[in-house]
Structure 1
Amino acid sequence: MNSPSSPARHWRDRLKHEWLLLLFAALTVALACIDPQPLVRYQRWLQWPTLCGLLGLMIAIQGIRDSGLVQRIAGMLVARVHTLRGVGLLLVSMTSVLSMVLTNDVSLFLVVPLTVAIGGMSNLPVLRMAVLEALAVNAGSTLSPIGNPQNLLIWQHAQLPFLKFVSSMLPAAAVMFVLVAALTWIWLPQGRVTLQAERLDGHAISVSLAILSLESLVMMVLMMEYGHAPLGALLLVLPFALFSWRSLIRIDWLLMATFAAIFLGLGHFAALPAVEHALDHIDFNQPLALYLGGIISSQLISNVPATVLLLDRGPNALALAVAVNVGGFGVVIGSLANLIALRLAKQPHAMRLFHEVSIPFLLVCAPLVYLAAYLLG
């Protein structure tokens, strides 16, 4: 008698833990009632290309996981690096470097599953590493104009030379990375990596699925780079539906729904006349006002919408870039990459631990970056 209701009960139980989805869904509905807008504005706020890009990346990475390739690489890595701090610094450095060239979300989709696999066969603390990798991806992507959406937007808007952007962001990115590396060294336990033999994944790699997934990942990154993310996602759904439909089922569809709710809720909030009127009273010609404005608005509406909101208000595009990248630390919605890292790790109490670390990190990082980028730069 219980079997017909078990799927419904399963989804109810899952939704109880999806407070972020429920919060932003409620915000979206409330704003739609208070301030109705034409359908075309909701379509713009939804950021359909970004959602399609996220879906394509999730499909490719789930396929790589299901192929067994990640587990094999994890075993090889742990066999060569013998201390927990050594593994931690290696993973944090990988995350930072990859985010410079592959964007912050792609970097996390590659490194966090690898971290989870390592944690499954050793004593590496997965949740601590996921938090550190969320911080590291923000630090690394700060340096590159293609490292994250806000940098790409500012770079294209200001028409800056690539190397000019990199050299201007270097002091801020360096401070961020040094702080993340120091936190990694201090926070991770001292001692050697202990392999748990009974948890070693000995099954063979599915070569065909690994090849399909790796090719899909490369293709999806290229499609996103050239502005064809919806087509890229569609081209991935079809072969996976035919050859690895279980990978499609295992995708975190509630994460997709959470991003959609966040985009709609925050997009509408940032466009409210009261918000725009409040910003008109702030003098963004003052460096400190622009810096604090970028950080605080990122904490409220995430750093990409904050960039859109402030892009034409501040005279210094590079100063805004520094501010909104620092604003990626702090609360989880400061950068949506934070949410991706925590969801990929799938660890209990992840949100609480993230805020216990990330908010103090922001309070330490913000004045040091201001000193390095504004006063000494």
Structure 2
Amino acid sequence: MEQPLPEQPKQGMLGTIWNWFKEDKVFLVSFILAVIFIIFGNAHFTTKFFDYKVIVTVFALMLVVAGFRDTGLLRHFGQTLVNRSKNTRQLVRFTTMLSFISSIFFTNDVAILTMLPLYLILTKNIKNRRSVYLGASFILPAVHLGSGLLPSGNPHNLYLYSFFKIPTFDFLKGTGLMFIAGFIMLNLACFFIAKDPIEIDTHVNHFRHRHTFVYVILMILMIAAVLHGDKILLYIAAAIVAVTVFFYQRKLFKQVDYHLLLTFVCFFIIVGNISTITVLTNFLRPFFQSVSGSFLGTIIVSQGISNIPASVLIAPFTTHGLAVVLGADVGGIGTIMASMATLIFYKVMTLQAFAERKGFVRYFMITNTIFVIALAVIGLLVLHFIS
């Protein structure tokens, strides 16, 4: 039997590594830029821009969210609600509201990956396709508006909450008003859906009760640690989560988005170096000196590079932390590049409804444009009211 060539394992390993890098284009670009800055710049790993606490916290929250996804709880609730839908409007409202509420705790990515496929399957035979397209497009603003409520709801909220050391009450005052506005907007939007009668009889899967209990406790622990804000407490909470998951369901470590964690590391290096370039900082800082400039600037920048990079990039150039938080939450809605959640939404939509992708994409673009403009106006009013 012939022995394999010695070069083959090495080539295979290099190919695997390269494929892993290519999986996430944002990470690949940020990694290349970070390496350039490390070689030619002044890479600082101890400056205020490199936040170890955020990396550790996001990692622990990813483990908890992966555990929740494994319980089947969210899908169970979704199937239970849609079974009670008597018409298309009810189905869309139930789906939208469950996406909105669940994203507070399960993050927008998980809410999309659970609710959108379920919605597309259930609406496959509904004749009024306009209502189906509209209903699908409501899910994206719903998960962004829901996940924006708490500091732990998404990575950029967590980063900005830590970077600006925003008092918890002030944070919740701003995000809470946007949350209420989002709830009203989403419910009003559902009136554009026709009340065509439907009959849905889908099997309701049971969720894993013991698993759910474990991850509810871990989620409460992490949220409490984030809101308390103490670095040592956060490290202890994250360690408890990691140890518990390791002995209880260690397979969940494979579900962590390591691309995102390393992207944060790369962004910290990039921004830390940019902050030392006086000419560039003097040019950028005036654009974000006002509350409205920080808010609208974050929304606009997010449309091109997504809201997480926009948050990390803009943060050093302004003192208006809450404006950047709300701008990143709203900025995740809009173009396909506005957020990772939007990319996931687009991929699921086109893969599961390929034959109708043009209809879904058209209403997706129209709805998201309307929402981002309306929420930009509302956000300015909210910031003016609380300032």
Q: TM-score surpassing 0.5? A: yes
- Give TM class, smaller chain: 0.5 to 0.7
| 1:89-100 mapped onto 2 (5 Å cutoff) | 89-96=93-100
Residues 68 and 106 in structure 2, CA contact (< 8 A), matched pair in contact too: no
Tell me the amino acid that sits aligned with residue 348 of structure 2: Q
| 1:243-322 mapped onto 2 (5 Å cutoff) | 243-269=248-274, 272-279=277-284, 281=286, 284=289, 289=293, 292-296=296-300, 301-303=309-311, 305-311=313-319
Note closer, same or farther for the CA distance 1:273–1:251 as it changes in structure 2 (3 Å cut).
same
Counterpart in 2 of 1:240? 245
Q: Is structure 2 residue 378 aligned with structure 1 residue 369?
A: yes
User: Hey, what's the Cα distance between the residues in 1 that align with 2:367 and 2:35?
Assistant: 30
Counterpart in 2 of 1:218? 220
Tell me the amino acid that sits aligned with residue 32 of structure 1: I
Counterpart in 1 of 2:63? 59
Secondary structure of the 2:38 match is helix
Counterpart in 1 of 2:84? 80
Provide structure 2 residue ranges, at least 5 long, that are not aligned to the other structure.
352-359
Q: How far has the Cα of 1:291 moved from its partner?
A: 5.1
Residues 292 and 323 in structure 2, CA contact (< 8 A), matched pair in contact too: no
- The one-character-per-residue Cα deviations of 1:176-221 (angstroms, maximum 9, x if unpaired) are 55555566666999774755x6xx575x654433332222222222
TM-score, scaled relative to structure 1: 0.68
Residues 96 and 142 in structure 2, CA contact (< 8 A), matched pair in contact too: yes
Residues 149 and 176 in structure 2, CA contact (< 8 A), matched pair in contact too: yes
Residues 111 and 143 in structure 2, CA contact (< 8 A), matched pair in contact too: no
Secondary structure of the 1:40 match is coil
Tell me the amino acid that sits aligned with residue 210 of structure 1: T
Deviates more, 1:119-128 or 1:323-332: 119-128
Tell me the amino acid that sits aligned with residue 254 of structure 1: H
Note closer, same or farther for the CA distance 1:262–1:135 as it changes in structure 2 (3 Å cut).
farther
User: Hey, what's the Cα distance between the residues in 2 that align with 1:127 and 1:264?
Assistant: 41
User: Hey, what's the Cα distance between the residues in 1 that align with 2:77 and 2:288?
Assistant: 51
User: Hey, what's the Cα distance between the residues in 1 that align with 2:288 and 2:20?
Assistant: 45
Residues 30 and 266 in structure 2, CA contact (< 8 A), matched pair in contact too: yes
Counterpart in 2 of 1:35? 41
Note closer, same or farther for the CA distance 1:72–1:106 as it changes in structure 2 (3 Å cut).
closer
Note closer, same or farther for the CA distance 1:179–1:64 as it changes in structure 2 (3 Å cut).
closer
Backbone CA RMSD of aligned residues: 5.0
Residues 89 and 185 in structure 1, CA contact (< 8 A), matched pair in contact too: no
Q: How far has the Cα of 1:140 moved from its partner?
A: 4.8
Provide structure 1 residue ranges, at least 5 long, that are not aligned to the other structure.
none
Q: How far has the Cα of 1:77 moved from its partner?
A: 2.4
Note closer, same or farther for the CA distance 1:270–1:193 as it changes in structure 2 (3 Å cut).
farther
48, 52, 66: which one aligns with 2:52: 48
Residues 291 and 319 in structure 1, CA contact (< 8 A), matched pair in contact too: yes
Secondary structure of the 1:29 match is helix
Residues 130 and 345 in structure 1, CA contact (< 8 A), matched pair in contact too: no
Q: How far has the Cα of 1:109 moved from its partner?
A: 6.3
Residues matched between the structures, number: 355
TM-score, scaled relative to structure 2: 0.66
Note closer, same or farther for the CA distance 1:53–1:80 as it changes in structure 2 (3 Å cut).
farther
Residues 54 and 158 in structure 2, CA contact (< 8 A), matched pair in contact too: no
Q: How far has the Cα of 1:31 moved from its partner?
A: 2.5
Q: Is structure 2 residue 173 aligned with structure 1 residue 166?
A: yes
